[in-house]
Structure 1
Amino acid sequence: MLFLDLTLPTPAENLACDEALLDQCDADCGDEVLRVLRFWEPTSVFVVLGYANRAAAELNTDICVESGVPVLRRISGGGAVLQAPGCLNYALVLRTSTAPELQTTGTTNRFVMEKHRSLLENLLGVRVTIDGVTDLVVHGRKVSGNAQRRRANAILFHGTFLLNAPVNLMEKYLRMPSRAPAYRDGRPHQEFVANLGIDREVLKAEIRRLWKADRQVDHWPKVEVERLVQTKYSLSEWNLKF
């Protein structure tokens, strides 16, 4: 598997890069060549909606506008999230033909989430559970959210580990979600999520080892990223489509 440690300058470029890597893998005729593990970390505060989210229902849109906080939409499902320094994002791009567990949405969720749950539990030395389908939970609090997008031949499975995120800003920009897992039990953001407080390089090294991402590269589909930024991620027609 290829390893790409790449944070691009803008939120739009970073979201576009995940999609471009997915499309590149989907179009590839081989099973191994373009499987990728990517890490990136925001350098500024912005908000990302899940594919089907309605901005007005999930965000304090007026405050986002007043504060100059960009609002973007990703291609995967799930809820709205705050992105900021201290959020370690990863993207796994896999060929569906490489494992039987990757054939359906449900089996893929279980396959990836169990691997990450076990890794984090071993790293922290405390119990880590999977809840809300694709949340990793420590002491009843969400420390990682995840989602996927599928193509004919490839999967993008991506998510965020909260390392030292500004949790206090979540309540400022995010409403209580319109849909929430039962374990949330109505808790406000600051009582529902928690930071892991672990070293980012240690976590990155462990995830890289887990997925056998041995081939570090410094190239990515730049032309496709730019195209997606111009035709999708920089446009309100996409970001505020609902």
Structure 2
Amino acid sequence: MQIVTHPLTKASHQIAMDEALLLIAEEQTSRAGGTCEFVRVWEFEHPTVIVGRSSRVAEEVDVEFCRSQGIPIFRRCSGGASVVGGPGCLMYSVVLDLDQRPELARIDVTHQFVMQHLQTAVNRQFRGETETARFQGTCDLTFNNCKFSGNSMRMARNHVLYHGTLLYDGDLALIARCLKFAPRQPDYRAERDHEQFITNVQVDPANLGRDVVDVFGGREIWPEPLPQAQIQQLCEQRYENTGWNFSR
């Protein structure tokens, strides 16, 4: 698996990069065969709301509050509900090859595979501790029954993009203010509001980032230059397009 290290500053480019890597993996496999997998770890520089592919923005996000605070709202290419990224929230993305991992064609197996790897990475920070991270719901990681990691996926022909959040020092009050009560909830949430339901997990983000890359098998730096053309095209079509971001 190749490690993607390109530094990006614009939030729209960060989101576009995930889809660009999925498209690049699909193209390389179709053209040349072989395995093409990626992993990257990153953070938004500023608070950013990211809604799911099918999310209804007005139902999941306090749009007026976000506008008043200058917090942008983007729609990602994968499913799931809305999340808030920003300082104190480590983001990760992996692109997995379905030809090499045919069992991941089953969505439930993909959730289990990725969550177990993330759980391993986080729990390396808690060696000797009684409480550790747990996998709950469809694709959440929790600590003391509170969520610190939300995740989503997009399945393509030969690859799956899986990405998500890892809260370690996020502004929980701001997150709760940006988001409305979630329309879809796991049973373990027990109707708790955001401030009661989400938490930061006390880890060193640099170590966690290295562990995330390691557990997924990142071994070499991707040698290609930044896919600027793909990023720009995706931003024009989607991520900097109001019609896309507020399509529902």
For 2:158 and 2:114, the matched residues in 1 are separated by 17
> Paired residue for 2:152?
147
Please state whether the residue corresponding to 1:5 is helix, strand or coil: coil
- Give deviations 1:159-214, integer Å, cap 9, x for gaps: 11111111110122110111111111111212111111211111111122212211
For 1:172 and 1:201, the matched residues in 2 are separated by 28
For 1:116 and 1:77, the matched residues in 2 are separated by 19
Do 1:149 and 1:156's aligned partners in 2 also have CA atoms closer than 8 Å? yes
Could you tell me the percent identity over the aligned residues?
29
> Paired residue for 1:226?
232
> Paired residue for 1:74?
76
* Residue identity in the other structure for 1:131: Q
> Paired residue for 1:27?
27
Instruction: Kindly state the Cα deviation for residue 221 of structure 1 after the two structures are TM-superposed.
Output: 1.6
* Residue identity in the other structure for 1:152: R
Do 1:132 and 1:182's aligned partners in 2 also have CA atoms closer than 8 Å? yes
For 2:146 and 2:186, the matched residues in 1 are separated by 12
Please state whether the residue corresponding to 2:99 is helix, strand or coil: helix
Write out aligned runs for 1:78-117 (5 A): 78-117=80-119
* Structure 1 residue ranges, 4+ long, deviating more than 3 angstroms after superposition: none
For 2:139 and 2:6, the matched residues in 1 are separated by 24
For 1:200 and 1:232, the matched residues in 2 are separated by 30
Structure 1: tracts of 5 or more residues without a match: none
1:201 aligned onto 2:203: no
Please state whether the residue corresponding to 1:97 is helix, strand or coil: coil
* Residue identity in the other structure for 1:31: G
Instruction: Kindly state the Cα deviation for residue 7 of structure 1 after the two structures are TM-superposed.
Output: 4.1
For 1:149 and 1:44, the matched residues in 2 are separated by 25
- Give deviations 1:102-121, integer Å, cap 9, x for gaps: 12211111111112223323
Do 1:96 and 1:154's aligned partners in 2 also have CA atoms closer than 8 Å? yes
Change over 3 Å in CA distance of 1:124–1:47 after alignment to 2: same
> Paired residue for 1:10?
10
Instruction: Kindly state the Cα deviation for residue 146 of structure 1 after the two structures are TM-superposed.
Output: 0.9
Aligned pair count reads 241
Change over 3 Å in CA distance of 1:39–1:119 after alignment to 2: closer
Q: Which sits farther off after the overlay, 197-206 or 14-23?
A: 197-206
Please state whether the residue corresponding to 2:4 is helix, strand or coil: strand
For 2:191 and 2:169, the matched residues in 1 are separated by 23
For 2:6 and 2:42, the matched residues in 1 are separated by 5
RMSD, aligned CA = 1.4
> Paired residue for 1:136?
141
How does the TM-score come out when normalised to structure 1? 0.95
Structure 2: tracts of 5 or more residues without a match: none
How does the TM-score come out when normalised to structure 2? 0.93
Do 1:101 and 1:111's aligned partners in 2 also have CA atoms closer than 8 Å? no
Please state whether the residue corresponding to 1:68 is helix, strand or coil: coil
1:58 aligned onto 2:60: yes
For 2:19 and 2:61, the matched residues in 1 are separated by 24
1:237 aligned onto 2:240: no
> Paired residue for 1:211?
216
